[in-house]
Structure 1
Amino acid sequence: MSRNTAIARIHAPARSAMQSGKAKGGGWMLTFAPAEARKLDPLTGWFGSGDTQSQLRLSFSSREAAEAFARANGIVYEVEDAPAVRHEMKPKSYAENFRYGRAENWTH
């Protein structure tokens, strides 16, 4: 049986909205689900908990490496498959708007 009570999630993180390229893609992450609810601190008014494991995020180069780490350390985990890759966009040029024999209307 596992020594941890929280279930870990192995997933491929989504790219940020500012990242349009393909660099730094293909990595996998192991994150833990919160083991306890967050509570309001009456003195400061901030939310907090004693669960430090939910703050932990481990990065791996492959799914197999993340699964091997979880098995070696007795961590109960579930794997989320990587999101489907979109097809490549065909690059267009500004001159396409004025091409002779164009089937669709000019949009701007």
Structure 2
Amino acid sequence: MRARIYQPARNVMQSGTGKTKVWYVEIVPEDGTKIDPLMGWPGQTDVHSQVKLRFDTKEAALDYARENGLDFVVIEPKKRKPNIRKNGYGDNFATNRRTVWTH
């Protein structure tokens, strides 16, 4: 079986990084989906592809894959550049501003 080990990206609708600190081991299906002839829905006979295991560290996920004989691929996360402003958002409402705040 082939597995994918990755750290999920953050939600695009939020600026926070919640639920992005864990690592996942996900089994990749060996054969593609098959179309059901009666309903036309895509389906699989491989139930392992429905399993997604969560680990606290990358090393724990790698150890699990090695212990269970999985052929795995590690997808490293792309770290975003921190957006650090000099005074931050609170400076918009400071009472000691030297200039008038406008849009």
Please indicate, yes or no, whether the TM-score normalized by the shorter chain is above 0.5. yes
Which residue is equivalent to 1:48? Answer: 43
Deviation at 1:12, TM superposition (A): 0.5
The separation in 2 between residues aligned to 1:95 and 1:12, in whole angstroms, is 37
Unaligned runs of 5+ in 1: none
Unaligned runs of 5+ in 2: none
> Deviations for 1:21-77, whole angstroms, at most 9, x for unmatched residues?
233331100112121111111111111111111111110000000000011111111
User: Is 1:13 the equivalent of 2:12?
Assistant: no
3-state SS of the aligned residue for 1:32? strand
RMSD: 2.5
The separation in 2 between residues aligned to 1:99 and 1:37, in whole angstroms, is 63
The count of aligned residue pairs is 98
Q: 2:79 aligns with which of 76, 79, 84?
A: 84
3-state SS of the aligned residue for 2:79? coil
Give the % identical residues. Answer: 36
The separation in 2 between residues aligned to 1:65 and 1:31, in whole angstroms, is 14
Which residue is equivalent to 1:23? Answer: 18
Which residue is equivalent to 2:70? Answer: 75
3-state SS of the aligned residue for 2:25? strand
3-state SS of the aligned residue for 1:29? strand
Which residue is equivalent to 2:54? Answer: 59
> Deviations for 1:66-104, whole angstroms, at most 9, x for unmatched residues?
0000111111111111211321332234458x85299xx
Q: Name whichever of 73-82 and 12-21 sits farther off.
A: 12-21
TM-score by length of 1: 0.74
3-state SS of the aligned residue for 2:76? coil
Structure 1 residue identity aligned to 2:35 = L
TM-score by length of 2: 0.77
